A and B are shown apart, each in its own frame.
Chain A
């Protein structure tokens, strides 16, 4: 392994590769900040450029873009409540309220430190444990994945808002319903399209996230413009605040980061799970770990609540490279794009990558750590400038959010049906938000819908239609028991409060 690390360091620390990491991190941050353009788009944009480089340089550039875009996504989550990617949705839960309280600079600094720490810790895990961790992900089967997704959706519903469990679960079902629109992945049978050709390919994730977050947020701000309480909040939004993190906040972060890193990395290793589930589960786990006083601050600008998903999503990014590099199975949508790039280089990822291209395997791992350092050095001093986006008056900010939302959709399809659909969904979402129906469960359900149906299909086919798959395997059973415990706890706490 030492030999491998040295090979990786010598490749990653060459002048060209350091430059590539820097360019990647910077470009990724800028692209990731734009609502609708996440890491997948950023990496996809880089693929044609990387074909001019040797494979390790190309992969290092893409790794830099990946981390930069995740950080950029967090920035738009915190400042605009408009997550560009599902992995940073949970960041907005506490990041955006912090920004509304005039602590935007601090929220961005906490996100940067947490991302750095999470990424660093998980890069070390990746270095040490990559070979053995691949066995863990191999042990997971379809029923386990199905149960894990049920757990993720239940967990987000449980912590999305106090006493709103049923509302959140309804949003989960709505998200899953939206995910079933379009062609069935296996049989190609069209469902819920009502003979509209524009719906044959389904509804895109970007459209849903733009409608339920960016556009609906903009409409809600306008809608509540006459509310004196809301107006006060809007004024405080223009205050940037300091980027300095005090001792108390550092202690809080120091407690959160290790556990969220471990969770994020382990979730990232599981193929298909990725940063989204990791960030939501870390948020939920953190809420359970903290004391009652801190628990009350969740959703209102909690340091724990911001640090946990930020640490976990970056840790999961590193974790998702384990199945990609060792098994050839992408751990997330973004690593799926990277798998395509690797194949384009003529490299087949898998257990033999160690032997055939050790310099690629190790240089990517080493460049991740270097990427983290570059990201911190590059972005931290820029935070006050990045945060100035908040100083844009409401009369300009709202149209600009609408403009970015529409452009994101237009770029994808050049089809005005999608824009009409987005406006319709945004209107419905605005009214739902008005009555405290939470949107994050809908987003997570929408993202997981396809994979959930696929794993359910496999599980039912293996068990010949019997529900036995839910308790046949110990891993499935344990995950489901945790899910039942969460539901039971929700019912119990509701009952307890009534009395």
Chain B
């Protein structure tokens, strides 16, 4: 039996709702709140049941409109590259600072999306981020934490 992707997602949502409901019932509330008409558990419990009912209905009821996705047309390679460099960016932003990490992230993103105009890629990464930082930090006075630039004395 072939299960449609929509029904499979609904099944995952059902599992999530069951887990959510189980966690909701296990929320520790104060002893005096245990039998109150409303405590920290009440709303999540309603939501858990709503999730179970809705996802079950979606699984049980026949699909009126089926959503077909042609996987041959999906660009998995680019998306995996982008996700990996985004994860690396998130991992290093605090360590090497906003300026360098963001500039490198932009440069790498342009490269992996097929751009090869090196001059434009450079301008739209390092000087662009510097200008953006000046706008935020220098003109709008929005604090932008960058330990590296602070260390070399560029930022206060």
Which A residues fall within an 8 A CB radius of B? 31, 45, 162-164, 166-167, 169-170, 173-174, 176-177, 180, 184, 186-187, 189, 191-192, 219, 222-228, 230, 394-396, 398-400, 402-403, 406-407, 410-411, 414-416, 419-420, 423, 427, 430-432, 434-437, 452-453, 456-457, 460-461, 463-465, 494, 497-498
Contact, CB under 8 Å: A224 / B144: no
8 CB contacts below 8 A, A to B, read A170-B10, A186-B40, A222-B75, A222-B113, A224-B75, A395-B115, A411-B136, A416-B93
> For residue A400, which residues in chain B have a CB less than 8 angstroms away from its CB?
106, 124
- Distance in Å from the Cβ of A472 to the closest Cβ of chain B? 15
Pick from A166, A399, A414: contact of B145, CB below 8 A. Answer: A414
> For residue B74, which residues in chain A have a CB less than 8 angstroms away from its CB?
223-224, 226-227
Q: Quick one: CB contact mask for B115-131 with A, threshold 8 Å, 1 for yes?
A: 10000000010000000
Instruction: Tell me the complex Cα distance, A452–B43, Å.
Output: 9
Instruction: Tell me the complex Cα distance, A452–B47, Å.
Output: 12
How many B residues, CB 8 Å from partner? 68
> For residue A230, which residues in chain B have a CB less than 8 angstroms away from its CB?
73
Known contacts A173-B51, A395-B110, A437 near B9 by CB under 8 Å = yes
- Distance in Å from the Cβ of B136 to the closest Cβ of chain A? 8
- Distance in Å from the Cβ of B93 to the closest Cβ of chain A? 6
**Nearest residue, chain B, Cβ from A180:** B44
- Distance in Å from the Cβ of B108 to the closest Cβ of chain A? 9
Known contacts A173-B51, A410-B98, A435-B6, A227 near B70 by CB under 8 Å = yes
Contact, CB under 8 Å: B94 / A414: yes
Contact, CB under 8 Å: B114 / A395: yes
Q: Quick one: CB contact mask for B67-103 with A, threshold 8 Å, 1 for yes?
A: 1011011111011001100110111011000100010
- Most chain-B Cβ atoms within 10 A of its Cβ — which of A164, A394, A395? A395
Known contacts A222-B78, A435-B5, A435-B9, A192 near B23 by CB under 8 Å = yes
> For residue B87, which residues in chain A have a CB less than 8 angstroms away from its CB?
420, 423
> For residue B13, which residues in chain A have a CB less than 8 angstroms away from its CB?
170, 174
Task: Beyond the given A223-B78, A461-B36, please list 5 additional residue pairs across the A-B interface where CB-CB is below 8 A.
Answer: A164-B65, A173-B47, A191-B40, A222-B82, A497-B64
Contact, CB under 8 Å: B51 / A170: yes
Contact, CB under 8 Å: A410 / B69: no
B29 close to chain A: CB less than 8 A: yes
Contact, CB under 8 Å: B90 / A494: no
**CB proximity to A under 8 Å, residues B28-49:** 28-30, 33, 36-40, 42-44, 47
- Distance in Å from the Cβ of B27 to the closest Cβ of chain A? 5
> For residue B142, which residues in chain A have a CB less than 8 angstroms away from its CB?
45, 411
Contact, CB under 8 Å: B109 / A402: yes
- Distance in Å from the Cβ of A451 to the closest Cβ of chain B? 12
**Nearest residue, chain B, Cβ from A454:** B43
> For residue B65, which residues in chain A have a CB less than 8 angstroms away from its CB?
162-164, 436
> For residue A430, which residues in chain B have a CB less than 8 angstroms away from its CB?
79
Contact, CB under 8 Å: A420 / B43: no
Contact, CB under 8 Å: B90 / A416: yes
> For residue A398, which residues in chain B have a CB less than 8 angstroms away from its CB?
82, 109, 113
Instruction: Tell me the complex Cα distance, A222–B85, Å.
Output: 14
- Most chain-B Cβ atoms within 10 A of its Cβ — which of A219, A403, A410, A452? A403
> For residue B23, which residues in chain A have a CB less than 8 angstroms away from its CB?
192
Contact, CB under 8 Å: A460 / B42: yes
Contact, CB under 8 Å: A435 / B69: yes
- Distance in Å from the Cβ of A499 to the closest Cβ of chain B? 12
- Distance in Å from the Cβ of A106 to the closest Cβ of chain B? 29
Instruction: Tell me the complex Cα distance, A173–B145, Å.
Output: 36
> For residue B36, which residues in chain A have a CB less than 8 angstroms away from its CB?
461
Known contacts A180-B43, A180-B44, A399 near B54 by CB under 8 Å = no
**Nearest residue, chain B, Cβ from A164:** B65
- Distance in Å from the Cβ of A476 to the closest Cβ of chain B? 17
Contact, CB under 8 Å: B47 / A461: no
Contact, CB under 8 Å: B64 / A498: yes
Contact, CB under 8 Å: B106 / A191: no
Instruction: Tell me the complex Cα distance, A93–B30, Å.
Output: 44
Known contacts A219-B79, A225-B75, A406 near B94 by CB under 8 Å = no
Contact, CB under 8 Å: A396 / B110: yes
